[in-house]
Homo-oligomer: A and B are copies of this chain.
Amino acid sequence: MTAADAPHCKRLSLLGSTGSIGEQTLAVVAAAPERFEVVALAAGRNIEKLADQVRRFRPGLVSVADAAGAAELRERLGSQPVELLVGNEGLKAVAEYPADLVVSALVGAAGLAPTLAAIRAGRDIALANKEVMVTAGALVLREVKAHAVSLLPVDSEHSAIFQALCGQRIEDVERLILTASGGPFRTWTAEQIAEATIEQALNHPNWDMGPKITIDSASLMNKGLEVIEARWLFDIPPERVDVVVHPQSIIHSLVEFVDTSVLAQLGLPDMRVPIAVALAYPERIDLDLPVLDLPALGRLDFETPDRKRFPCLELAFEALRANEAAPAVVNAANEIAVAAFLDGRIRFPEIAATNGAVLNSHVGRGGSGSLRDLADVVEADDWARACAREWIGSTA
């Protein structure tokens, strides 16, 4: 093989390298080392894990949360040469570092500013941070268009839609159909759900995830947030986004086209697959993982989601119809409500009640609800958290 035949080596910057997605991203890179060069890493306070990553992948730039972490990392790395930065300045530098793709895998609101910085620096983005599109979708979409970068989704549902859309025209899409496992309360009555314990809500049938997202799966808020993400990621109006309950989580999502043809992506639940799809696009990486065996599974089931028993799903559509800031408002309210549920301060149905009350208050405030810049996102988020806390306090 001559150099001209060699696959293009992609330079990756990774925001959030020591988290679950960050670690799995580096596992994918390790599976195809000739295809990728890790040029910059940003992490928080897990310095031991980060030091190991820096030794293995030898990035040029590393960012950590603070100066203490930087000092510890420098000591652990010994003589290995690497530029070290800290805090928001460090995150921005990693986001803007010369690279072909920035993997945005920070957790929560912290990922928004560096992801926007990467977009404004013209970098393509592999997006694993849900909050970016949920809280600031309208703003991010405008920046993505203005800077003509690619936004490659990393979570399984949006990766499925992305893969089904490859080689297709977005104007030929009739509906994006997100699949939902239905969560642990899929077959429960409204009365049973009202009495659900924390342990029952944390018992997700298919995916092993953190407590916040597991509760969101039980309430279908997670699917609602994914509806919001899909609306902005694929620039498609909310009335063209739909949800189907599919308990086995094998079909990760579907796209229906104007000719009634439907394309779907299927697979076993493993985040390394959507990560590899985003990293390698438009090529693919040979992964040594278990393969989907449909006859061994035997059957796939489908149901219509019950928006009465799971009102959080409907709230996401309502937020999208309301204004640009409303999704950030519902998301912030939900974070407060889920924390209150996990603290035992409210019952399960009060999560949706909180979210709905805060959304109603937001709409009642009037104003354009448009997101001109990050400050508008922060304002909506802060306001919604305060509103949710007040509402929970008044009902507790």
Contacts and interface: CB of A to CB of B under 8 A. Distances in A.
A265 B302 CA distance: 16
A258 B284 contact: yes
A256 B287 CA distance: 12
A107 interface: no
Interface string A194-209: 0000000000000000
B268 A260 contact: yes
A164 interface: yes
B261 A264 contact: no
Given A166-B167, A299-B300, A302-B299, A280 B259 contact: yes
Given A256-B291, A256-B292, A263 B164 contact: yes
A254 interface: yes
B303 A300 contact: no
A230 B230 CA distance: 34
A241 interface: no
A57 interface: no
A287 B267 contact: no
Contact of A302 (B267, B268, B294, B304): B294
Interface residues of A, number: 52
Contacts of A169: 282-284
A244 B295 contact: yes
This chain's copy number in the assembly: 2
Contacts of A257: 284
B289 A260 contact: yes
Contacts of A303: 295, 298
Interface string A319-359: 00000000000000000000000000000000000000000
B244 A259 contact: no
Nearest to A175: B291
A277 B287 CA distance: 31
Interface in A240-266: 244-246, 251, 254, 256-266
A287 B174 CA distance: 11
A277 B172 CA distance: 11
A266 B261 CA distance: 6
Interface of A: 163-164, 166-169, 172, 174, 177, 244-246, 251, 254, 256-268, 270, 273, 276-277, 280, 282-287, 289-292, 294-295, 297-304
Given A259-B276, A259-B286, A263-B264, 6 more contacts: A163-B261, A167-B168, A167-B282, A260-B289, A260-B291, A295-B303
